[in-house]
A and B are shown apart, each in its own frame.
Chain A
């Protein structure tokens, strides 16, 4: 049964710098990187290439010794130019200098109908596409030998300045359908495709078969797959569900229909500090320098891979994260403001209406910098998190259970149902400025590894 879910809780953050629906003609990115730190739950990465090796798109680059059937592959063809390690030889980045024209490894076409489930899983796992499949609970790369009770795909993104799948996946209908067909085979239950109930679905999702289509409407985080799972088929202790982002679904489709790992992606270049906010066609893990060079309004900026709620700061010549399909450039906020906590303002974005914050009078979009607007404090105000988390979960109690490392409480209060991105809004609105996403990850790690 398809469901229609209307959510009321949440908060839409409207920022300056939404990408225009056009492909910009930025110089193409030269280098691409695989960052092991992008893959949550990756335990012991083992690199399969050396500096100087030439690779094709789809050539295995590394794998996790803890789950060795899952291959992490090169997004482009070219030469491995650097394997960057940090403290204690921690693997940080594997950089690949791309060829002018990309050549692909031939991974072999396949017909979903003729493959059995395990062979299909093995095929995807060996192609480099598998890390797109995420396991809930915990939000880690899924294990191909598990059989999930359902697979969830969110067909819209409500995060600030998020890319529009209707634009970025235009014309990929055939591959998307093939991907859905493959996913349907991997689960014992259903594949859920969750769409925005407030607008007409983009062509790529409109006629999808073999999946349950659900509609969600409401403010952010309505587009977060974790929230959707909670309302469709919540995860209880001992259960496993998988989530896949739409890019991953398309890539699986391409693998089956074309026999290649196509890591090409249209990503959105957004934020108040880019002169030209637009989309650009590139590959997974692209270096952002060519997209930002000459395209910045000011010098003192922060480049974020992903959105401003759950993204990650990268340098001006950093690389887009594996799971990200946008970069956001916002001003750094490392300044002191005289009586900043007291001054009336309409230009600062706030969920609250406390003294002098008249942001609700502000029409249109906000320009927001990285200032925290206050220092860290114990939890004092109650009832705020509850207003932005549309789940039957008591966030404050869950956070306190994590702080006190109370395993039973964490389980009972619903830590299996959330990952970082689901509490990103809580972290944004928290007047006590706690790092709640980090806290949730710490809690999940406690549950996973002890």
Chain B
């Protein structure tokens, strides 16, 4: 390690003021602090000791919480492929096939995102923040498995620049960066991110008879439109002949088509356990989000004028990206509500809105993306009223 330290020390003069690469000091400093926790000490006045946790630890904890979803996503991409083409495949085959689909997306997301981030840090001369560790992983996980890589790159640049850097970088953004990337693709290139054809990659093979590439959400939606069978029946019947039905259990486990990381409710919950156990994410948002979805589902049950509205509310938990979005997206501390009371309201409304968008809006089969973005915009408003209540309490105290 001494050698690496010496190397950094040797390079240092080049990056300092007057050195030939002084503009790139932030890159030097960023890399050095990744290799070595810095030798900074506390100031003469104030807290003389500091907590062992820093933003790097916080962010890497979130990344670790996403790894189960990533690994399952890789496996599921392979599983869906072999299911569609009707071939028997071993675990290794599925994993390898999935890895070939997922890893390039992941690499592009990180490479392009970090490059954009570094460019901004150099131009603005501010330290490299660790926020993109999380965003880079999230962007990959919310993409369809075989999305063109140039679209991933474009969406990443858009999200980092417009979603984050124009507001001043990590900690200042209004919208969740990864959701911004996905929303960008959704509206700019809808053909590659929506419909029935993009979730399962067939390669050169042809699909077996009876295969449909539809997602659970569109199956449920169509059941509502057609009204010939209940939504649950439609889900259970989907691809049943080839063993890929949308039973509650299959959807909970995640053996369904969808974006890379979003399909498995189970893996999202594993992530939730890590995030809540380490105290990194707010359990209030996650719990109230699930509660909001359930309540809205139950209300729709009461009103039910079509079969989709009659879908048992717990199905909303396991379909689409509800769990993934609530656990990893809604809890992004920067774009979420920041007051503790606000977090309850914020999470609850995300759940409610997601179900409303899913069930009532024909254009957007998945509601979580827009619900999160919408509530990102409204989070400051929620906080405003919570803060105002706090001020009022203080003022009232003065008069008594």
Contact = CB atoms under 8 A, between A and B. Distances in A.
Contacts of B58: 352, 354, 380-381, 431
Interface residues of B, number: 62
B56 A341 contact: yes
A123 B170 CA distance: 56
A436 B279 CA distance: 22
A449 interface: no
A81 B387 CA distance: 54
B338 A433 contact: no
A438 B49 contact: no
Interface stretch (B35-43, B79-87, B288-296): B35-43
Given A330-B48, A341-B56, A373-B51, 18 more contacts: A236-B398, A312-B44, A330-B49, A336-B38, A340-B37, A341-B34, A349-B51, A350-B52, A352-B51, A354-B58, A372-B42, A373-B50, A373-B53, A374-B37, A374-B54, A380-B58, A397-B338, A432-B171
A74 interface: no
Nearest to A368: B49
B393 interface: yes
A310 B60 CA distance: 30
Q: How large is the interface on A (under 10, 10 to 19, 20 to 34, 35 or more residues)?
A: 35 or more
Given A336-B5, A380-B333, A428-B47, A354 B279 contact: yes
Contact of B60 (A340, A342, A383): A342
Given A336-B36, A336-B37, A340-B37, A380 B171 contact: yes
A372 B41 contact: yes
A308 to B, nearest CB: 4
B131 A354 contact: no
A396 B338 contact: yes
Nearest to B284: A383
B339 interface: yes
Contacts of B45: 312-313, 437-438
B281 to A, nearest CB: 10
B10 interface: no
Given A355-B61, A377-B55, A431-B55, A383 B41 contact: no
A409 to B, nearest CB: 9
Contact of B387 (A369, A382, A413): A413
Interface of A: 13, 234, 236-237, 302, 304, 308-313, 328, 330, 332-342, 345, 348-357, 359, 368-375, 377-383, 386, 392-394, 396-397, 412-414, 420, 424, 427-433, 435-438
A392 B49 contact: no
Given A354-B58, A371-B41, A374-B56, A338 B394 contact: no
A30 B64 CA distance: 57
Closest 8 CB pairs of A and B: A374-B54, A340-B37, A378-B171, A348-B52, A236-B398, A336-B36, A341-B56, A313-B44
Given A236-B394, A383-B282, A357 B53 contact: yes
B56 A424 contact: no
A352 B35 contact: no
Given A350-B52, A352-B51, A378-B172, A333 B60 contact: no
Contacts of A237: 398
B395 A412 contact: yes
22 contacts: A236-B397, A302-B48, A308-B47, A309-B48, A336-B38, A340-B36, A341-B37, A352-B280, A353-B279, A354-B57, A357-B52, A374-B38, A374-B56, A381-B280, A382-B338, A386-B340, A392-B393, A393-B390, A394-B339, A432-B55, A432-B171, A436-B46
Given A380-B170, A412-B394, A375 B61 contact: no
Interface in B1-58: 1, 4-5, 33-58
